[in-house]
Structure 1
Amino acid sequence: MSPFVNQIERLTGNIGILASLALVPLVLTTTYEVIARYVFEAPTIWAYEVGYMLTGSHFLLGMAYTLQQGQFIRIDIFSQAMSAKTRALIDICSYSIILPLMLWLTYGLTGYLVSGFIKGERSGQSAMNMPVWPFRVVFLIAFALLALQVYAEIMKSLQKYKAVSHE
């Protein structure tokens, strides 16, 4: 495996683990909100927004890790009947279609982030009314990382294709 692909895989793994840690403050926030609301009859103005931003961050930052671990849905009933060479070729083709889309999305999200920051956009979802740019940073990082992981998957599939072609 190339050093660049190894670096992508390491980065994806580290951010995937970091994303899983977002569940800790999410659980604590939700627990606090339930206690504040139902025990003390004093709901917070911030728990809802913090909760949905943590949930979204967890999901978005976990996408590349999910791809790396091979946990996205595949239609195995068809692919099991195919040779390893054919499966590698299908992966190369499908990832090669996905990569430009991820790059385009990452580019578009950059403008979306800058626009939100310059305009000082706020969520409007609760009384807390958080700025949206931090969440848009997560969007940008998540899709950039997914684009990198798709590139790594193309390289790994090419290596598999070459390996089974020489057998």
Structure 2
Amino acid sequence: MPRTIRLYVRYVDAFNRGVGRFIMYLIFVMIAVLLASSIARTVFNSPFNWVVESSQFMMVAYFLLGGAYSMQMGAHVRMDLIYGRLTRRRRALIDVVTILFLMVFLVALLLGGISSTQYALQYGERSYSAWAPPLAPIKIIMTFGILLMLLQAVSTLFKDIAFAIGKPLAEHPALSEERS
């Protein structure tokens, strides 16, 4: 594989690994927010009106920013009826085809996310709740998460092609022999 592809895979994988490992700690922030809300509601009889929506925003960030890392680690769910019985090379060939469909889907999501984010920024879009937070920050995070997923899909495509032609770029968790 050309040097530029190897560099692309190395840098995208490293960046997504860093983002994924950082964002996994967001679960503790969500737990703290929900715990504080629960204590405020039960002990002080003073519920926070922002907790549910902020928890939803954090969960969206958690899933979308962690999605690329999950793809990199081979942690996404697959239907293994036939795939698991194939050789590593055939799995890579099937992944080359199926990831193209994923990339088309991610490009459509990205274009929609960009459009929605531009709208939120231009018109100061807010949520229709009592708290009414601005929606631009979460839309920016969502669009960035989709972009990371697309970049990781391209990296995975390169790794699958390299593996299929017999010149693997890096260890590919989804193609490993031991599967749980």
TM-score when scaled to structure 1?
0.92
Equivalent residue letter for 1:160: F
Name the residue aligned to 2:165: 162
Higher helix share: 1
SS at match of 1:163: coil
Deviation at 1:5, TM superposition (A): 0.6
- The answer to whether the aligner puts 1:134 opposite 2:155 as a matched pair is no
One of 17, 23, 28 as aligned partner of 2:27: 23
- Distance in 2, matches of 1:65 and 1:141, equals 13
TM-score when scaled to structure 2?
0.86
> Gaps spanning 5+ residues in structure 1: where?
none
Alignment RMSD:
1.4
What's the CA shift string for 1:46-73, capped at 9, x where partnerless? 2122111111111111111111110111
One of 18, 27, 31 as aligned partner of 1:14: 18
- Distance in 2, matches of 1:106 and 1:120, equals 20
Q: How many residues of Structure 1 are paired with residues of Structure 2 in the alignment?
A: 163
- Distance in 2, matches of 1:153 and 1:115, equals 32
Name the residue aligned to 2:178: none
- Distance in 2, matches of 1:48 and 1:98, equals 31
SS at match of 1:76: coil
Deviation at 1:104, TM superposition (A): 2.3
Equivalent residue letter for 2:28: V
One of 81, 87, 90 as aligned partner of 1:86: 90
One of 118, 123, 140 as aligned partner of 1:119: 123
- Distance in 1, matches of 2:61 and 2:85, equals 37
